[in-house]
Every structure is written in structure tokens, then in C-alpha cells.
Amino acid sequence: MFVFFSSNGNRRSSSIWIPILYILFAVPLILYPDIASRLFCLALSIGSFVYAAARLLRYARNAKHGWAYDGDKWVGIVFILIGLFCLFFWRVILSFLPLTLGLLLLLDGLMKLPLAIDAFQMKFSSRFALLASTVVPLLLGLILLLNPFGVTRLIIRFFGISLIADGICELVASIFDRRSRKDSNNWHNSYHS
């Protein structure tokens, strides 16, 4: 669990920085949900405009050489429209946000489920922390999916709280995993001494 192999075959454990970033990212979501939701839509709009510009520039550059692909032009136009929609109709985008967040949390929990099952079967010391980091996103995702079009501000705060809960659970699981590996290495070294 939480132990990976790098390209040169060395063991390396999961990073504790991801759960810490979850927690740090969640604080503004809880404290300023209105601003965070508006910034989310603004970022979607800017991302759409940047992608549209890249496609249209590629179309224009290739058109000079006679290699123009009309798909680039139309994708660019569609993404300009998406950017404008996100910019001016951001409340519509936010109405779908709870459904999207619920699906993401549910997927996060479902992806961790095999790890949690393996941890219990192998009796890892971090199995309860991993179970919590699996069950919490599953439950929070299900709750969001059951009422996806509720109050957006509450959902954004709820997402922030769930990020903190998930980050804390993953941090605890990672710490337990590191301790378990350290204890295992100490035992291995003392046994072979």
C-alpha cells in the first residue's frame, strides 16, 4: 500500500504533500465560497479562451502553408463560445458543480476501495486510516449526488470540508505507512545483525 517503485526499481512512499495541498486548497473554499465559485468559473473561461487561441493560431499558421485543418478553426470557435458562456452565465455552471464534485468524490473513494480491501486482508497498520480515506469521500460524494442542485455556497463549503477530511485521512495513512515501514526496516536490520 502507499509504496511505489520508481523507474530505477527503488521503493518510494507516497508523498505527504498532496494531502497537505488538499487541506490548504480547502481553506479558501470554506471561508470564501462565493469568491471561490466565481474564480472557478473565471478560470474555466480563461482556460477555454487560451485553448481557443491556441487552436486558432495553429489554424492560421497552417493556413499560410496551405495545411489548414478546418477542425482547428471550429474547435477554436466552440471554445470561445464555451469561454463566453462560463464568463457570462457562471451561475448555470455553478448549478452543475455539486453534481460534478459528488462524482469526483465518489470516484476518489471507489479508486481507493481496492487499496483498503488489500490493507485489511494484509493487516497493514494503516488499514483504518486508509478505510477512512476511502469511506469519507464515498459518503460525501453520495450525499452530494442525492441533492446535486442544492445551495451552491453550501456545497462549496462542503467540498472544502471534505477535502480537509480526505487530506487528513490520507496524511494519517501516509504517516502510519512510513512508521510501519520504518518499524519493518528496524526489525529486518536487527534480525539480520
Domain boundaries, the chain: 16-191
Enter the C-alpha cell of residue 148: 446535486
The owner of cell 469526483 is: 104
192 confidence band (pLDDT: 50, 70, 90): low
Enter the C-alpha cell of residue 189: 536490520
Q: What is the pLDDT of residues 24-82, one digit of tens each?
A: 888 887 888 888 888 888 998 999 999 999 989 989 988 888 887 788 889 999 999 99
Output DSSP code: residue 151.
-
The owner of cell 459528488 is: 102
pLDDT score for 5 = 41
